[in-house]
Chains A and B, each alone.
Chain A
Amino acid sequence: MSPPLLSVKDLKTHFFTADGVVRAVDGLSFDVAAGETLGIVGESGSGKSVTALSVMRLLPQRSARTIAGAVLFSGMDLLKLDERAIRDIRGNRIAMIFQEPMTALNPLMRVGEQIAEVLRIHTGANRRKARAAAEAMLHLVRIPDAEKRYDDYPHRFSGGMRQRVMIAMALACDPRLLIADEPTTALDVTVQAQVLKILVQLKARAGTAIVLITHDLGVVAETCQRVIVMYAGRKIEEAEVATLFARPAHPYTRGLMAATPRADSEAGKRLVEIPGLVPSLSEPIVGCAFAPRCPLAYDRCRRESPVLSQIAPGHEVACFAADSGP
C-alpha cells in the first residue's frame, strides 16, 4: 500500500474572537490517496471550509490559528513549513478553487494573464510559453475561442465560465491535489453539471486527487470515491460512497440522507428535517456534539464523546448507538 498523498492528523484550528474561542476544527484526521476523490460533507459551520484553508495555510492570520495537528504531504508537514516553502506548494502541487466564482477572479486583470501568472511563478516559463500554456488550459476547460478570450476581463464571463477559468488556473501547473470548496454551490443546476463534468474529465486525464467539499449529497454520489462526514468540527463518519448511501451508520448521516430529495423516493413523501441547530463552537462540548438533536441519543451520549471506530472494512463511525446495533 503506497503512503497516502495527503495525511491530516488530528487537526485543530481555532478562531480567536472578541466573544471567545471558536473551535472550528477540533481534532480531524483523514487521508487522501493519490488520484482518489474524497468528499467532505457537512452543514455550514461544520468546519469543512476551515479544514481546507488550514491545509493550504490560508487562514485569516489575525483571527485564526491551527493550534495542533499535522498535515503531511509528500513527506513534509505543511503546518511547519516557512512562508516561502508553502507558497511554492500553493498553486503548484496543491491547488484550491473556491465557492464564489463571481468574486474570485481579479476584475482588473485579463483572464488569460491570471492563468499565465501561476505558470510563470511556478515553472519559470517566459511570457510566450506561459501564454501558450494558459491558452491550452482555457481550451481544455472548454472556453470557446480561447485565444481571443485570453485577453478578456472577468466581467465578460458568466459564473460557470469563471469557475472553469478557476479550474484552468488551479490545474495549470498539474498539481497532485486539488481542493475544491463548494465549487458548484453558487451555480445554476445545469451549469453545475457542466463544471462537474469538466472536473471529472480533467482529473481522469491527469490523475489528480481531489478533495471535494460540499453539502450536496448528489454531487458526492456522482463524483466521489470515499466520503467523510463532518459535524461540529469533527469527523463523525467515513466510508466509501456506495456504502455511505446504502448503509449510513451515524444518525446525522441518516438524517442528511432523509432530508435529501431523491429521484427514487415516493411521490408525496415529506422530506424529514433534522430538528434543532448546530451547536455553538465557542463553548466546549460535553459528550457527543450531535446528542441534542439525535433520535437515538441516550445518557452515555451526553456524558462521553464517542470516538471513531470501524464497523466494517473502510467504514468508520463515531457513535455509541451505531456501534451497538444497526
Chain B
Amino acid sequence: MIAYVLRRIASLVVVMALVAMAVFLLLRLAPGDPTAIIAGDNATPVQIASVRARLGLDDPLPQQFYRWATALLSGDLGVSIFSNTPVAELIGQRIEPTLSLAFATLLFAVPVAVLLGILAAWSAGGVADRLAMAISVAGFSLPGFVVGYFLVYVFAIRLKWLPVQGYTPISQDVASWASHLILPALTLGLAFIALIARMTRTALLDVLAEDYIRTANAKGVSTLSLLLKHALRNAGVPIVTILGIGAAMLIGGVVVTETVFNIPGIGRLVVDAILKRDYPIIQGVILVASGVYVVINLLVDLSYTLIDPRIRS
C-alpha cells in the first residue's frame, strides 16, 4: 500500500518535471522568431532584443535550463513583461475568484451529474435515459461562451433575476458573491455534467450486468439498496476517474467563463496576457494549471485504494 502511494507520487514528480521541460522547450523550439512575435508587430530591433534579454534567451541553453529549474523549485514563475510583477504574485492576486467559481461549479455539478447518470442507468433505455443522454450530447456540443451568453440574455437581461457579469469578493458581501456566481457556475458546469453523467451511466450499466448484482437480486435486496449500496460502490473507480478528468476540464473552461462574465480571475489573466502577448504569464499559468491537474489525478489514484480493497493489497 505504501509502495503504491510512493509510486504514484514518483510518477507525479516525473510528469511535472516533463511538463516543466516541455514548457521550457516550447519557447525555445518554436519556429520563426517567437521573441519578435511577442514583442509585437511594430517592435523595433532594439525592443525585440530587450524582450530576448528579459526572457533570458541570450544565454547558452544549459544555463537557461539551470536557471529555469532552480527558479521553479523556489516558486519563481518568471516576471510579467508588461507589469514587471512576478507572475506568481499576479496569480496569487487573482486566485480567489477562480477558486470561488470552481468551488461553486463543483458544488452543484457533481451531485447533479452523478444523479443524472444514476437515473439514466436505472431507467436504461427508458424516457429518463434518453433525456439524460440528449442533455449530455447537447452539453458536449455547446461551447461555453454560447451557453454563457444565452444564460445571460435570458436570466440577466430579459428576466433580470441575476447580475449580468462581474464578481464580488466573499468577504465583501456573501449574497452578492453567490448571485454573481450562479450563471457562471451553470455555464462552466454544463460540459462537466455532460461528461460525468454519461460516464456514470456507462459505469453503472456495466456493473448492473455483473453476476453479483443478479445474486443480490436473488437475495431479495431492494432496488434502492441495489443501486446505491451494491452497484454504485462497484462503479466507484471509473466514476472517480472521470470526476478527476472532469475537474481538469474545468481548469480549461474557466478561461472562457471568466471572459464571458468578466470575472477577474486567472482565466481573465491569461486572456489579457494573450492580447498583450505577455508570454511569461501564459507560461506561469500553464505550470500552475498542470500542477493542479497532476495533483488531482494523484488524489484520484489514491482514492482507488479507499474504494477497492483489491487495490490495497
Contacts and interface: CB of A to CB of B under 8 A. Distances in A.
Task: Indicate if A touches B (C-beta under 8 A).
Answer: yes
B217 A155 contact: no
Nearest to B222: A87
Interface in A141-199: 153, 155, 166, 169
Nearest to B211: A103
Interface residues of A, number: 29
A269 interface: no
Interface residues of B, number: 23
Nearest to A179: B218
B230 interface: yes
A122 B220 contact: yes
Looking at B124, B218, B223, B308, the one whose CB has the most chain A CB atoms below 10 A away is B218
B219 A118 contact: yes
A106 B234 contact: yes
A166 B215 CA distance: 9
A87 B234 contact: no
Nearest to B125: A62
B218 A58 contact: yes
Interface string A78-94: 00000100011111100
A120 B172 CA distance: 53
Contact of B218 (A90, A106, A109): A90
A298 B230 CA distance: 54
Nearest to B218: A96
A98 interface: yes
A56 B220 CA distance: 10
B233 interface: yes
Contacts of A153: 309-310
B124 A90 contact: no
B221 interface: yes
B309 A56 contact: no
Nearest to A88: B220
Given A95-B219, A104-B212, 20 more contacts: A58-B218, A62-B125, A87-B221, A90-B217, A90-B219, A92-B220, A100-B211, A103-B212, A104-B214, A104-B215, A105-B212, A107-B212, A107-B310, A108-B233, A108-B308, A121-B222, A122-B220, A155-B310, A166-B215, A169-B219
13 contacts: A62-B124, A89-B220, A90-B217, A91-B219, A91-B220, A104-B212, A107-B310, A108-B307, A118-B219, A121-B219, A121-B222, A155-B310, A169-B215
Interface of A: 56, 58, 62, 83, 87-92, 95-96, 98, 100, 103-109, 117-118, 121-122, 153, 155, 166, 169
